[in-house]
Amino acid sequence: MIIDEIINIIRNTTKEFEMILKVTSAVAKYLDAKKVRFLIEENKVPETAPLEGVVMPVEIIDNRIKNAWQIIGGPKELKGEIKTQLLVIGYLLILGMENIKLRGQAIVDSLTKLYNRTYFDIRIREEIEKSKRYETPFSLLMIDIDHFKSFNDVFGHLAGDEVLRIVGRVLRDNTRSSDLIFRYGGEEFAIFLPNLTKENAMKVAERIKQHIDATIETADRLRIIIKKNPLVKDGRSIPISVSIGVSAFGGANKALTLSDIVMKADESLYRAKETGRDRVEVVGRSETLRILIVDDEVGYTDLLKDYFSSRGYVVTTANSGDKALELLSHRMFDIMLLDIRMPGITGLDVLERIPKLIKKMKVIVLTVVADAEIKRIIYEYGACEYLQKPISIEYLDKHLMAQILEMKA
């Protein structure tokens, strides 16, 4: 029966335009009509002007047609059972659309128009299961507005609400349609980033690295864009900054749960706020991560030491290849940043003498010249990456953080 078919369509459709399309297609087929439309108030149903085909009102309010069927190329007159069926189908369709609207209100934050925490708990569980099934990587960003309480205290709650709307809009306008954005609670937002890899990434390790690189780039890009969208109050431009915590997963962990990914993202967010705010931190960093910096230029060793120490890492420095080999002979490190050109024992000499150690730590080479032959040699010796001098904080954020996240994720 046509009514049973319509009920099934309405029950299994979650988008209003899809529901209308499927129902009108089913009605057109049932009536053997060329085309069927369901006219609603937004269609601006005329009160008196005739429309093409047969128009049958479903709802009339204050002597005005609110909802109606328009049947083109079908029966010229609707009688008896067909008319009754169309009336019933019309009411079912109206109820179905209202239910979708109510459902939308239940999962959307009224202030930012982003998904809310209730929907976060439901949807992210679904996405985790999808990732496990297809073994595709994904990431979660936890975003917190820095010093949000001061916006409310100094400028009032209306200003605080406007800050939330600004951040929500920036996140919505600068992410992919496949990314899921939530107002997680208070001044905190969450973004679920499914598979950021390129189509030609075939190997698992390659897919994970590409995804991690893209995740960090996305997080930092959003942080920078938010800073470019200040709150304007009484002609005054008030900057907004955010701290972002990142957790990334390869998709192979079948025991992974929602609480696992939230906990790791929260840990990263906490570290971002504790180490100065207005920054991106990644899962897996810990106070016990050991870094050896080998460079004969004091300026670079100081820069790198300050950079890593401020983020909670244990940092050791060496100003020569001899000192580096001495340290490596009795201490273990997770990462070594190694200058390739030093007097006496060079960085290449160090690499050549520690092949077994390279298997247990990441070696990132520092070089002034991006020479193809040097790159070939350092990769042959087991180095995982190189950083080209001159080095700045921005350069480190862009070119180094992916290496650390990949190692610890």
- Extract the residue ranges of the chain whose pLDDT is less than 50: 48, 285-287, 408-409
pTM greater than 0.85 (yes/no): no
Place of tokens 């300026």: 299
Both 124 and 101 in one domain: the answer is no
Q: What is the number of other CB atoms lying within 10 angstroms of the CB of residue 189?
A: 25
Instruction: Find all residues with CB under 8 Å of 10, minimum gap 6, and list them.
Output: 19, 23, 92, 93, 95, 96
Domain boundary among 106, 141, 163: 106
Residue 85 lies in a domain: yes
Both 248 and 371 in one domain: the answer is no
CB 94 within 8 A of CB 67: yes
- Residue 397 CA, chain-centre distance (Å), reads 19
- Containing structural domain, residue 160: 117-282
Both 81 and 173 in one domain: the answer is no
Active site (catalytic) residues:
187
Q: Which phi and psi (to 5°) does residue 347 adopt?
A: -60, -35
CATH number, residue 246: 3.30.70.270
Domain boundary among 237, 265, 282: 282
Angle in degrees, 0-180, between the axes of helices 80-107 and 2-11, rounded to the nearest 10 = 10
Supply the pLDDT for residue 109: 92
Q: Residue 50, preceding bond cis, omega within 30 degrees?
A: no
CATH number, residue 11: 3.30.450.40
Query: In DSSP terms, which residues pair with 335 in a beta bridge?
Result: 291, 362
Domain boundary among 86, 106, 126: 106
Is the alpha carbon torsion for 301, 306, 307, 313 positive or negative?
A: positive
From the list 137, 135, 238, 222, the residue with the least C-alpha distance to 181 is: 222
Both 301 and 328 in one domain: the answer is yes
Both 199 and 68 in one domain: the answer is no
Residue 111 lies in a domain: no
Residue 112 lies in a domain: no
Q: Is 401 exposed, middle or buried (0-12, 13-18, 19+ CB in 10 A)?
A: buried
Instruction: Find all residues with CB under 8 Å of 358, minimum gap 6, and list them.
Output: 351, 381, 382, 383
Both 146 and 125 in one domain: the answer is yes
Domain count, the chain: 3
pLDDT, tens digit, 9 for 90 and up, residues 33-91: 999 999 886 555 555 455 678 888 888 777 777 888 899 988 888 888 888 889 999 99
CA dihedral of residues 220, 225, 227, 231 (deg, nearest 10): -150
Both 215 and 272 in one domain: the answer is yes
CB 127 within 8 A of CB 258: no
Supply the pLDDT for residue 208: 73
Quickly list DSSP for 3-44. Answer: HHHHHHHHHT--SHHHHHHHHHHHHHHHHT-SEEEEE-GGG-
Q: Which two tokens stand for residue 399?
A: 């070119």
Q: What is the number of other CB atoms lying within 10 angstroms of the CB of residue 394?
A: 9
